């Protein structure tokens, strides 16, 4: 899994644009309150000790940024990666506040992790590091306070260790994290959730723009969790033709379509797509500008930038990855009438099903896959249509409409709570 480097400048630019738009409306929201929403409520830095297998003692720096909890407990992932730092956590936490607000689930935004390379840690070292980090966070996390989840280089097993460590002092508490194994209170449908959300957003965008998906060519940049599920669902449920895929090594493209089953088996066996037959091999950058109707960047931050925005041929861009379009590139796409479904709406399926997991944990009653999928569709479609209506009514791009909806909801919650 590739780490996604976010730029605070892009998120701040979008947020400030939304603030200016809201300030220009007849609104009861204090402009200073809108500005306050861009800042974090709490930022936690801890030094996490670890006795290595060779007997040496080492410390790793851990972070948890809690951005805003006016609408509910903080919610967001934990990532273990050498590049984790306070700036990255701050940006991601801000995005999570906006994402949970735009799809109208009762969470705020949080994010964090440990600056480490898990590939250099044994299984025992990784477990001890996770447990020590959990203890240092202490009562700053919890099912009614802050609910972490898996992110880059973390998974269901890491969440299981957090549950166990947290529960030692507080009693059994499945709801302290989401993304857990099914045996420990996880939810069915969580693995496919973000990809399914991307598929639903793609379906709604195609309807709005008058594109027949049964005749559409779709390119996915990436072939990880989001792209692997999203591509299959767009093909199976919507009839779209997947013509491009990529891995960290490079990309494949075939205007006649790609056999997804064969590509996935090849990817699993070879840890990449280079050498897969019957396709053209190219760079990730070249894939983005190939002929297609719908482009779904699902891998890297700033994938769409000022260098390639004028060359993108897609009519619709559905952002499967966080912050994959630079702010200046976003303006270029808007000027070219390329319809962009922004990340805080398009890839919110994962946090929505995390919300379902949390609800199930609190009630100790678990749903079947059909209920999870139906509820996910209801929330994604409702959110999409609401943002689309605001976009049309206020003559805004979908991104600015989504940011405006999210920030207005957060601000009104803060006012109602008595800021």
Using only C-alpha atoms, the chain has a radius of gyration, in whole angstroms, of: 21
- Strands 241-247 and 146-150, by their bridges, are unpaired
| Residue 376 structure tokens | 């996910």
Task: Tell me which DSSP letter residue 74 carries.
Answer: E
Alpha helices in 150-259 (DSSP H): 156-170, 193-209, 225-238
Give the residues across from 142 on adjacent strands.
Answer: 146
Question: Which among 111, 217, 241, 315 is annotated as catalytic?
Answer: 111
Beta-carbon count within 10 A of 362 CB = 12
H or E, element range at 380: helix 369-394
Torsion angles phi and psi, residue 318, rounded to 5: -115, 115
Integer Cα distance of 14 and 325 in angstroms: 11
DSSP per-residue string spanning 194-208: HHHHHHHHHHHHHHH
CA atoms within 13 A on the CB side of 350: 26
Would you give the end-to-end CA distance of the chain in angstroms?
40
Is 111 known to be catalytic? yes
Q: Name every residue whose Cβ is closer than 8 Å to that of residue 225 and which is 6 or more positions away in sequence.
A: 191, 194, 195
Catalytic residues: 111
């Amino acid at each position: 899994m590739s780490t996604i480097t976010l730029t605070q400048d892009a998120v701040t630019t979008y947020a400030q644009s939304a603030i200016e738009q809201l300030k220009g409306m007849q609104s009861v929201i204090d402009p200073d309150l809108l500005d306050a929403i861009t800042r974090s409520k709490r930022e936690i830095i801890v030094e996490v000790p670890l006795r290595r297998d060779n007997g040496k003692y080492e410390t790793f720096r851990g972070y948890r940024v809690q951005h805003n909890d006016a609408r509910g407990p903080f919610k967001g992932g934990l990532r273990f990666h050498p590049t984790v730092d306070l700036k990255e956590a701050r940006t991601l936490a801000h995005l999570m506040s906006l994402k949970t607000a735009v799809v109208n689930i009762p969470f705020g935004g949080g994010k964090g992790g440990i600056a480490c390379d898990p590939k250099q840690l044994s299984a025992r070292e990784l477990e001890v590091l996770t447990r020590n980090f959990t203890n240092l966070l202490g009562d700053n996390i919890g099912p009614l306070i802050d609910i972490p989840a898996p992110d880059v280089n973390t998974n269901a097993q890491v969440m299981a260790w957090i549950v166990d460590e947290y529960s030692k002092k507080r009693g059994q508490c499945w709801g302290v994290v989401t993304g857990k194994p099914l045996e420990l209170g996880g939810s069915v449908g969580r693995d496919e959730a973000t990809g399914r959300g991307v598929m639903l957003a793609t379906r709604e965008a195609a309807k709005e723009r008058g594109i027949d998906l049964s005749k559409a060519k779709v390119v996915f940049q990436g072939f990880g969790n989001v792209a692997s599920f999203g591509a299959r669902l767009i093909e199976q449920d919507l009839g779209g033709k997947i013509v491009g895929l990529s891995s960290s090594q490079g990309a494949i493209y075939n205007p006649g379509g790609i056999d997804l089953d064969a590509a996935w088996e090849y990817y699993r066996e070879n840890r990449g797509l280079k050498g897969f037959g019957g396709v053209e091999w190219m760079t990730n950058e070249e894939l983005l500008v190939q002929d297609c109707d719908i482009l779904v960047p699902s891998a890297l931050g700033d994938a769409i930038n000022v260098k390639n925005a004028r060359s993108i041929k897609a009519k619709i861009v559905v952002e499967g990855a966080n912050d994959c379009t630079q702010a200046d590139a976003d303006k270029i796409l808007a000027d070219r009438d390329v319809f962009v479904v922004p990340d805080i709406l398009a890839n919110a399926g994962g946090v929505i099903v995390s919300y379902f997991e949390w609800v199930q944990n609190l009630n100790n009653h678990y749903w079947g896959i059909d209920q999870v999928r139906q509820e996910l569709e209801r929330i994604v479609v409702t959110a999409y249509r609401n943002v689309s209506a605001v976009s049309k009514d206020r003559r805004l791009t979908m991104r600015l409409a989504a940011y405006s909806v999210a920030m207005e909801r957060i601000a009104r919650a803060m006012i109602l709570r008595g800021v």
